[in-house]
Amino acid sequence: MSETREAPAPHDARLEPARPVLLMFRSFLIRALAAAVLYSFLAVGSKSQCFGEADETCIRVEIGPSPILYLAIAFIAIGAFRAVDRRAVDAHDAARMLTRRLRLILAIVVVSIVAIGLWIAYCPIEGWPRPGTWFFPFPFGAAELTHV
């Protein structure tokens, strides 16, 4: 007795018109998550310095990813999905909407990484303590100042 194998069923014909849009959604989601992971790895930095000889005082400034930026990425992604669902006329229109929102996410991530890098590079630790105000790069990153 021989076994008969059935050929795999072709894709459901009813889903064929939606296939390009589903692929765009998947591509958008993967790229948005990749941008969030990139931000997680590159939005970090620290700087420290010690002052005095007898009673040495050390200042350490650390900066890391801000949870607010992750929320912004999530809200932009959800907004993109809702906009495509409500206003897209065809696949081309959906692709245009998703591309715009993805560019917005990437711009926010790049600006945040650059702002954090510049802030940590030019953070004025020398001469501590001195009067004045320290500006932290909120909402681009979450900074912590440690005085030991």
Is position 94 within any domain?
yes
Is position 100 within any domain?
yes
Is position 8 within any domain?
no
Is position 134 within any domain?
yes
pLDDT tens per residue across all 148 residues of the chain? 566 666 555 566 676 777 888 889 999 999 999 999 999 999 999 988 887 776 777 888 899 999 999 999 999 999 999 999 899 888 889 999 999 999 999 999 999 999 999 988 888 777 666 666 667 777 888 888 888 7
Residue type, 55: D
Is position 40 within any domain?
no
End-to-end CA distance of the chain: 82
Is position 87 within any domain?
yes
Is position 17 within any domain?
no
| Three-class DSSP category at 145 | strand
Q: Which domain holds residue 68?
A: 59-148
Q: pTM score, two decimals?
A: 0.81
Q: Please answer whether residues 124 and 47 qualify as being in contact, where contact means their C-beta atoms are separated by less than 8 angstroms.
A: no
